[in-house]
Chain A
Amino acid sequence: MKLPGQLYVGAALSVVFIAAALLSLGWVPYSVEGMNIAERMQGPSAAYWLGTDQFGRDMLSMLMVGARTSIAVAIVAVGIGMAVGVPLGLLAAANRGGLVDEIVMRGNDLVFAFPSLVIAILITAVFGPSALNAILAIGIFNIPVFARVTRGGALSLWTLDYVLAARVSGKGKIRISAEHILPNIANLLIVQGTIQFSLGILAEAGLSYVGLGAQPPTPSWGRMLAESQTLISLAPHIAIFPGLAIVLTVLGLNLMGDGLRDLLDPRLRRVA
C-alpha cells in the first residue's frame, strides 16, 4: 500500500511549517521589526541561516513570522468557508429539489463562476488592502466549495435506511442533518478542509504578491517574493527561500490531503 508514504511526507512538511509558525509566537532568531542596513542581502551563514533580506532582516525569522500570517489567514478563511458553506450544503440536501436547494445552489454557482482571485481583488479593491480583507476574500470563495461537497455527500446519505429510520421515528430535517448526516460526511470535510487550507495559503501569497494582502511591515511570503524581484541577480536567496517555503508548504498540505482522503475513504480502502 503506497498510502502512508505520501501521507507521512505531507504531514511532516505540514508539521514543520506549523511548528515554525507556532514557535515564532514566542521566539524568533532575530526581531523582524528592526532593520540593519549594514548587514543587508547577506547569503546564508552561521549567524543568519537563510541570510538577510534587503533591509538586513533575518530571512529565517521573516519566513517564520510569514508562516504565521499565512496560517492565520488560511485557517480563518477555511473557517468562514466551513461555517457558512456546510450548513448551506446540509440545508440544500435536506430540501433536495425544492426552492431552497435551487436558491442555495444557484447562488453557489454565481460565486463559483467568478475566478477566485478576481473576487479577492474586488473585495480588497473596495475595502482597501489588509490582512483582514484578504481573509474575508479568501473565505468567501471557500463557501461554495464546502456547500457543494456537503450537499453532494449528504444527498447520498439521505437515501440510506438509517436516515429513513430516523425520519420514521419523527426526527426533523435539521436534527437528522446534525445528528446523522454531518458526522458521516466529516471525513469528506476534513479532506476538503486540508486542500482548501493549502489553496488559502496560495491565495494569500498571491494577494500579498500583488500588494493586496497583509501590509508591511507584517512579513508575508507573497510580498517577500514580490519585493525580491529586482534583487534576484544580486542576492538570489531573497527570492528562493520564500518561494521554496510556499512550494513546500502547499505541496505538503496537498500530499497530506490526498493521503487523508485515501485513508478515510472506505471505498478506496477496500480497493487497496
Chain B
Amino acid sequence: MFARLTTTAAVLALSAGAAFAQQTDITIGMQLEPPNLDPTGGAAAAIDEVVYANVFEGLTRYNADGSISPALAETWDVSEDGLTYTFHLRDGVTFHDGTTMDAEDVKFSLDRARAEDSTNAQKALFAGIDTVEVVDPLTVEVTLSAPNSAFPTNMAWGDAVIVAPETAADAATNPVGTGPFMFDEWVKGDRVELVAYSDYWGEAPALDSATFKFISDPTAAFAAMMAGDIDAFPVYPAPETLAQFEADPRFEVIVGSTEGETILAMNNADEVLSDVRVREAIAHAIDRQEIIDGAMFGYGTPIGTHFAPHYPFYVDLTDQSDHDPEEARALLDEAGHGDGLTLSLKLPPPTYARRGGEIIAAQLREVGIDTEIENLEWAQWLEQVFRGKDFDLTIVSHTEPMDINIYARPDYYFQYDNPEFQALMDEIALATDEEERAALFEQAQRMIADDYVNGFLFQLARTGVANANIEGLWENAPTQANDLTGVRWTQ
C-alpha cells in the first residue's frame, strides 16, 4: 500500500515536472512563403527569413545589432595592400548530411556564386573576387581585384552562405547547410519545419524544433496570433492592431528598425519631373509625420535622404524638405505649373504604399497636384514601374542594406542620372579608411537630397509580435533573417 502510494506520488511528480518544463518548440509566422529554400539562388527575402543562420551559415555572419562576427571562418587576415583575405576555417564543422565542411566547400561556394551562369541574386557581392584558392583544408585565400573594405560584410549575406557540392543543386527543396537547425519538411502553402542538428559545431540552440508558418492575410495573422497558433510574428503585417497586443500582457510588441527606406519615387526622366523645382515642390508638399501616423500607425522614423538612420554616418536632412505647402505652391508656380498638374501614382500592395499613397494624394492635392492613383499587384508593378519605367510617382520601400548606390544607376527605375554621384560611388567602393568613407557617404546623402531625386518618407519600422515568454528574437533587421540560435522560452 505504502509502495503504491509512493509510486503514485512519483508519477504525479513526474507529470508535474513535465508541465513545468520549458517549451522547446516554436512556431514563427511569416506573411510570405519563400519560393524556394536556396538563399544562393533566389532574391526573395522570405528565403533568408527561414534559412539564414538557422540552416545555412557563411564565412561571417550578421548579428542582431548589425555588426559582423566570425561564423564558419574563425579568423581572417588581410594583406597589406588590402587585396588578399586569408580565412581560417573552424575545425569540426559538418553539414547536416554528416560530411565535413572544409576549404574545398568554401571555394566551391564562392566560385559557384560568381560564375558566369550563376543564379545568385546578389552577384555584385562577389564581383570583386579575382581568385579563390585552397591553402589547406582549413585555410582559404581570396584575392580581390581591388581593395574592398566591405568584403567581410559581403560574406555575411545570405547569398554568400557555404554549401556543399553534393547537395547545392537540390538546395531549393532540400537545403543542407551547417547551421544549428536542419531542414525537416516543407508543406507547400502552409509551413516549413526545422529540427535541431545534434552535431552542430557551436553552442546548441535552446529549441529543438521550429516551424515557420505562412499567413498572408493580415486579418488571419491577427487571429492566429491571438489564438496562440503562432508564437511569434517577427514582421507583423497589421500595424493597426499592435495597440491591442501592447495592452495584452500575454504578448510583447517588438519594435525595431529595418533597412527599408520608404520613398515616394519620382520618374526623373519624365518631362515634368525632370525639373528639379517640381521635385522639390513635391518634397515640400509631403507631411511625413502624417504619413507615418496615418499609414503606419506611428511606427517609422522620418528620413530626409536615402539612408538608414541607425547607421553612424547618417545625416538628418529632413528639415531640408520639411512640410511647407506655401513653398511647394511657389515652386510649382515658378516651374510653370501654377494652374495645376496631374501625375500618375502607381501603388504596389503593401500597406505603406496603399495607405501612404492615399495620404500623399491628399497632401499633393493641397498644393495643386492631382494624382491618378492606380493600385497594382507586385507582378504588374515590377512589369510597369520597375522594368517598364512607365510611371510618374510610386511608393516603395528599398529594404537592401546600404543601397544608396542605386542612385548611381541611370537605368534604375527612377532614372536619376548624375555623373558626379556615380563618380562618388566609385570612390566609396575603393575607400578603405572609415573616416574617409563616412565623409563620402555624407556627401552622397546630401547630393541626392539637394537634387530632390525622390520624396524621402520614412525608415520602415520592423514591428513584430511575440509571446511574452519568448526571448532572444531580433529587434532590428540588419539583414533579412529570423535567427533562432539565441531564442528561448523563459517559462
Contact = CB atoms under 8 A, between A and B. Distances in A.
Q: Tell me, yes or no, whether A binds B.
A: yes
A216 B357 contact: yes
Interface stretch (A14-22, A32-40, A80-88): A32-40
Interface in B320-376: 355, 357-359, 361-362, 365, 372-375
A18 B489 CA distance: 59
A246 B375 CA distance: 23
Given A35-B359, A216-B358, A234 B243 contact: yes
Contacts of B173: none
Contact of B375 (A34, A54, A129): A129
Contacts of A217: 358, 361-362, 373
Contact of B290 (A37, A54, A128, A216): A37
Nearest to A56: B294
Interface string B357-398: 111011001000000111100000000000000000000000
Nearest to A38: B293
Contacts of A232: 219
Contacts of B243: 234
Contacts of A128: 374
B396 to A, nearest CB: 17
Nearest to B365: A33
Interface string B233-262: 000001011011000000000000000000
Contact of B374 (A40, A215, A230, A234): A215
By secondary structure, the A interface counts as loop
Interface in A198-226: 211, 215-217
Contacts, number: 56
Contacts of A233: 222, 241, 244
Interface in A52-99: 54-56
Q: How large, as a class, is the contact surface on chain B?
A: 20 to 34
Contacts of B137: none
Interface residues on A, range: 20 to 34
B166 to A, nearest CB: 45
Nearest to A32: B362
A103 B133 CA distance: 76
A230 B294 contact: no
Contacts of B228: none
A213 B244 CA distance: 32
A35 B290 contact: yes
Given A54-B240, A211-B375, A231-B240, A35 B362 contact: yes
Contact of B241 (A34, A56, A211, A234): A234
A229 interface: yes
A36 to B, nearest CB: 9
Contacts of A55: 294, 355, 358-359, 362
Contact of B219 (A129, A215, A230): A230
A186 B362 CA distance: 46
B59 to A, nearest CB: 41
Contacts of A56: 294
Interface of B is mostly: helix
Interface string B176-209: 0000000000000000000000000000000000
B165 interface: no
B472 interface: no
A41 to B, nearest CB: 8
B218 interface: yes
A116 to B, nearest CB: 22
A230 B361 contact: no
Contacts of A54: 240, 294, 355
A230 B375 contact: no
A230 B290 CA distance: 20
A229 B361 contact: no
Contacts of A129: 374-375
A233 B362 CA distance: 27
Contacts of B238: 230
B241 to A, nearest CB: 6
Contacts of B359: 35, 37, 55
A37 B372 CA distance: 22
Contact of A216 (B244, B293, B375): B375
A37 B240 contact: no
* Max chain B C-beta neighbours (<10 A), residue from A56, A128, A129, A217: A217
A129 B238 CA distance: 25
A35 B364 CA distance: 12
A33 B362 contact: yes
A37 B373 contact: no
A122 B362 CA distance: 31
A56 B295 CA distance: 12
**Residue among B238, B244, B372 with most chain A CB within 10 A:** B238
Contact of A229 (B218, B244, B372, B374): B218
A217 B361 CA distance: 8
A234 B240 contact: yes
Contacts of A231: 240
Nearest to A223: B375
Interface in B376-434: none
Contacts of A40: 294
B235 to A, nearest CB: 15
Contacts of B241: 230, 233-234
Contacts of B357: 216
A35 B358 CA distance: 9
Nearest to A128: B374
A40 B359 CA distance: 13
Contacts of A229: 218-219
B422 to A, nearest CB: 36
A76 B357 CA distance: 29
B377 to A, nearest CB: 8
The listed residue with most A CB atoms (<10 A of its CB), out of B241, B362, B365, is B362
Given A33-B362, A37-B290, A215-B375, A230 B355 contact: no
Considering residues B243, B294, B357, which has the most beta carbons from chain A within 10 angstroms of its beta carbon? B294
Contact of B218 (A35, A215, A230): A230
Nearest to A34: B362
A62 to B, nearest CB: 12
Contacts of B374: 128-129, 215
A260 B212 CA distance: 57
A215 B361 CA distance: 12
B244 A234 contact: yes
Contact of B293 (A33, A37, A211, A230): A37
Of all A-B residue pairs in the complex, the 10 with the closest CB atoms, nearest first, are A37-B294, A230-B238, A230-B218, A35-B362, A37-B293, A216-B373, A216-B358, A37-B290, A229-B219, A215-B373
9 contacts: A37-B293, A37-B359, A54-B294, A55-B358, A55-B359, A128-B374, A216-B358, A217-B358, A217-B361
Interface of B: 218-219, 222, 238, 240-241, 243-244, 290, 293-294, 355, 357-359, 361-362, 365, 372-375
Given A40-B294, A54-B240, 10 more contacts: A54-B355, A55-B294, A211-B375, A216-B358, A216-B361, A230-B219, A231-B240, A233-B241, A234-B240, A234-B241
